[in-house]
Structure 1
């Protein structure tokens, strides 16, 4: 998970997210499979941020109304407006953010909202529809600096990475829809077999 890598590099991270509603696996599902407690009080989250350089704010704990929308979102099984608003309502109000958006029409709108707030941000969408930087296709990036949004495209090949097949991005040996398979990939260590993605 990118948030863990960024925190390990010395940049404090307040990750805000929830369980899967319209995708195979949400960030909360993976973290819970790794043994992370989702029931942190605000004081415990602040202590975690101070001590570990990262904390996770479980959306239903900080936005209690969202828990009532989850069954409907799960039944719809497609992204809803909550998918697009959630990155904007991180209670930590970070000055910088990296936001993934699967919708090519909504992504620049999110970027403009972040620009209007004066944030520094990257809003990313893989050309393959991923709501993150992709190694299977080029990635469209809206770079938010100051109050301006600059669209650009990056490609894994620019960084010396081979192009992957979409199936290569699936986690571990378990079915790709299970949090333990994603957690297993998150625990990967040098010397273990499997995809480099």
Structure 2
């Protein structure tokens, strides 16, 4: 680690292979907490490069407990958090809409970071049993069309980093790694990011992978399509901007996307939307994100057709049926 730190302190950056090697050794417990803290501090002092992000990502995927669903054409919709917007669970709801529309969803998530309720908070609230049992996860994917990976159960190597992150009490590179280390490596992914720098990093890290992806950021700061401003997304084919009207929706005020003050508040909003009683803003923002997910799966499809497909899955209560089936398992 001394050699690595000396190299980095000279202002140099790691290649993808070097970054992968370093983080693999961190995840194998080869370094002390002080050494790990010094490494993390480097990336507080300067920005991480795309090659480094790609290497760190590959190391964490290699170290995780893998889930092989390669026979399915799966998708994950997930955000980095950290946007400070405290929205309701838009990405998670979008996943149920996608499953309701007939797509296979492998949702990866954790407890909330910048909001009162992350995806794990929501699944736990409704009684979902976190598990890394492959048979259970496959059965859920087969029968409900969706399954959930609670991140801590799949990334045991993070136990060496957890105490350091807790002691440092500042954001580190690991705060932005979660969305791109889904243990099933889904073939399609819609990732929301909290700023354009992270969008570029993710684009560089994912560009050489086999994944279809869309990395989205609303230009007023949301890590998803918010319909409060135009959104920008990056994919292998380029970078594009989408205004609310491109989805066929009006613009909404940020207050209309609030997740409330507690997990209980967020859960009530969650169920209300699935039951068809959400506000227009709540319903439309979920549909917009689900539609972008559908277009990630079917890039040849027009966005408005994808919106119509997502809307039908929500309004017909197919998304609600998926939710009930999963939570009853």
Q: Please indicate the TM-score interval, normalised by the length of the shorter structure.
A: 0.7 to 0.9
Matched, 1:88 2:180: yes
Alpha-carbon RMSD: 2.3
Q: CA deviation at 1:36?
A: 1.9
- Distance in 2, matches of 1:150 and 1:104, equals 14
Query: 1:186 is matched with which residue?
Result: 270
Matched, 1:41 2:116: no
TM-score by length of 1: 0.84
Cα offsets for 1:39-65 (capped at 9, x unmatched): 352221111111111000000001124
Alignment match of 1:61 (pick from 135, 147, 153) = 153
2:192–2:224 CA contact under 8 A, matched in 1: yes
Higher strand proportion: 1
> Cα distance 1:36–1:160, how it changes in 2: closer, same or farther (>3 A)?
same
> Cα distance 1:66–1:26, how it changes in 2: closer, same or farther (>3 A)?
farther
> Cα distance 1:41–1:135, how it changes in 2: closer, same or farther (>3 A)?
same
Unaligned runs of 5+ in 2: 1-92, 283-329
Count of matched residue positions in the alignment of Structure 1 and Structure 2: 187
> Cα distance 1:74–1:10, how it changes in 2: closer, same or farther (>3 A)?
farther
Higher helix proportion: 2
Matched, 1:2 2:112: no
Query: 2:109 is matched with which residue?
Result: 17
Q: CA deviation at 1:159?
A: 2.1
Query: 1:120 is matched with which residue?
Result: 212
**Which structure ranks higher in relative contact order (CA pairs < 8 Å, sequence separation ≥ 6)?**
2
Unaligned runs of 5+ in 1: none
Matched, 1:139 2:227: no
Whichever of the two has the greater Rg, that structure is 2
TM-score by length of 2: 0.52
- Distance in 2, matches of 1:141 and 1:35, equals 34
- Distance in 2, matches of 1:19 and 1:163, equals 29
- Distance in 2, matches of 1:129 and 1:74, equals 28
Moved more, 36-45 or 160-169: 36-45
Matched, 1:27 2:119: yes
Q: CA deviation at 1:75?
A: 7.9
